[in-house]
Amino acid sequence: MTRTISREQLQAEIAILKPAPVLIEALPEKYFLDGHLPGALHLPHDQVRRLALRLLPDKGAAIVAYCASKTCQNSHIAAETLRAMGYTSVRVYAEGKQDWIEAGLPIEKGPGVHHAARPGLLA
């Protein structure tokens, strides 16, 4: 079973840890473009095996997967797939984007720096 992280813990780690945890959004592209946590990478749950090694070359990096809300399972699927691929520090922000937005925290819209830096990645 994948470990989880709360919003408060995630905010603290983003503020304190260097490097901060790598955030991955496990939703389809439309939802990522509509808004994602700042700095998040787009890694749809059904494309983890194909894209993970390019997006996440360090299998020991702290990774936090999230999706829409606590009822969404995409982040859990992505995290379990990453663990099966040998990633050693994967957690799930189970409350997801809905919790982040309801807390009044900022989101980014559009492709984001990471996505734009990898043109054709999802083609």
Q: Mean per-residue pLDDT for 18-30?
A: 96
Q: Does position 123 have pLDDT exceeding 50, yes or no?
A: no
Residue 115 reports pLDDT greater than 60: no
What is the model's pLDDT at position 112? 65
Model pLDDT, residue 119: 38
CB 64 within 8 A of CB 7: no
Instruction: Report the share of the chain in percent with pLDDT over 70.
Output: 89
pLDDT tens for 68-114 read: 999 999 999 999 999 999 999 999 999 999 999 999 999 999 876 55
What are the structural domains of the chain? 3-116 (3.40.250.10)
